[in-house]
Copies of this chain bind each other. A is one copy, B any other.
Amino acid sequence: MTPTYSNLFPKFIALKSISTDPQFHSDIEKTATWLGEQFHKHGFEYKIVKGYENPIVLATYTVNPQAQTVLIYGHYDVQPAQKEDGWDSDPFTVTEREGRLFARGAVDNKGQILIHMSTVFDLIIEGKLRYNVIFLIEGNEETGSPRLSDFIRDHQDVLKKADFALISDGETTGGHPTLDVGFRGVINLQITLTTSDRELHSGLFGGVVPNAAQELSGLLGRLVDNKHEVTIPGFYDDAKPIDAELRKETQAFPIPQEEMLSLSGCSTLFVEPQANFFTKNGLLPTLEITGITTGYAGEGFKNSIPSVAVAKINIRTAPKQDPWKQCETIVSYIRSQIPSYAKIEIIQDQISSGILLNHIHEYFMRAKTIMKDVYGKAPVLKLCGATLPIANDFDKILHIPQIYASIGNEDCKMHAANENYSLEFLNKGLEFSRAFLQKE
């Protein structure tokens, strides 16, 4: 660790900036103020912007008006943590054990954003900073960044000065440095199917009346065929084409399937021999039932025919698909499958686009090369199957290329007890950050 990092890290961690629990609101405020002070000390202009949920810290440093500008995004808020949750030490006191620093936020995201902060601070002092820098550090990532799009839209004048963005908020994959090059979009649906206004005795009415659980199972069962493909017409439209070069790079993904299989706890993965986990998971749309509730759930049996059945469904859209259009297609198909004797109500939520990032711009190439030097192996270009709304906001509002350089260790336990940053990965992260942000 560098002296700057080891000085600031325990102080940053000690601030209980838990955004998911309103009782920590004053700690949130203190954290934003503390961040502002660090930027101020190092000659940044900064604003603590209120009015978009928790305060957002926006700090800019101009090393040279002719230099290129990097926008570095991170978040200072963390998930809840209590010693009783299974922590071996106080979650808000950094504790070193067996080559790891244990603390809530150690990796997600205090530990990672502080790497870039402390590197920039050091490079300023040393007169070696390569880029002008804009830090955007928010306090609502753990609650879904509900107002961040608005903030970005309202602060385009500052943010658009950036030539590219650098984000470090994830883990390496299989011990390899990782550059994310794609994220899927998301659609959440809740389907409520009703066949009667009352539950009915399964003996006295069984076989003669509609059964909401049966109708819902039939519907859900028909949505996926025995090749695990979604049967909704149009579901795969605009999804399949993919840049040959990227396909080649992601195909060459150095993580053995066995490792992903072991991570899944399953006995098989639905990946064809010629594809790989990340190509399939990152590039194809999928439909997953995430919950079904109907009828009696207790011990033993209650022999009633359910009149209401509810399913929650999570759809991930391919990076090139329009999730709002897909949602329309899916919802109208589902409606068309419901017999006239059943009523259906569908709630749509959390719709967000996917994206395939530009992975051949100069900054990306530079990050790739430096990572290879620092880690001694080429980074994996990962098509991430999850959804990152900020990637879209930066793309659609700021129109700038982005680098998602995940530098946390894979076993960091983010969101869980004993979150930790491996010193080996932390030092590699500092090394990468310095090499990337310093002048030649």
Contacts and interface: CB of A to CB of B under 8 A. Distances in A.
Given A218-B221, A281-B208, A306-B291, A195 B266 contact: yes
Nearest to A385: B203
Contact of A290 (B209, B266, B271, B302): B302
A213 B291 contact: yes
Interface stretch (A133-141, A182-190, A246-254, A371-379): A182-190
Contacts of A302: 290-291
A196 B262 CA distance: 10
A418 interface: no
A438 interface: no
Contact of A203 (B217, B294, B303, B387): B387
A321 interface: no
Nearest to A220: B217
A341 B208 CA distance: 35
Contacts of A288: 202, 206-207, 211, 213-214, 305
A267 B340 contact: yes
Interface centre among A201, A203, A264 (most CB of B within 10 A): A203
Interface in A199-242: 200-211, 213-214, 216-222, 224, 228
Given A306-B290, A316-B203, A267 B341 contact: yes
A186 B303 CA distance: 10
A350 interface: yes
Contact of A266 (B210, B265, B277, B310): B210
A297 B293 contact: yes
A68 interface: no
A292 B290 contact: no
A347 to B, nearest CB: 10
A427 B234 CA distance: 67
B266 A196 contact: yes
B207 A289 contact: no
Contacts of A305: 288, 290
Given A203-B387, A270-B209, A314-B301, A296 B290 contact: yes
A126 interface: no
A281 B384 contact: no
A242 B435 CA distance: 86
Given A213-B292, A219-B221, 10 more contacts: A202-B286, A203-B384, A204-B384, A205-B281, A206-B314, A206-B385, A208-B269, A217-B289, A267-B341, A268-B341
Interface of A: 184, 186, 188, 190, 195-198, 200-211, 213-214, 216-222, 224, 228, 260, 264-271, 277, 280-281, 284-286, 288-297, 300-307, 309-310, 312, 314, 316, 340-341, 349-350, 384-387
For the complex of A and B, 8 pairs with smallest distance between CB atoms: A221-B221, A203-B386, A207-B286, A291-B295, A217-B220, A213-B289, A196-B265, A291-B296
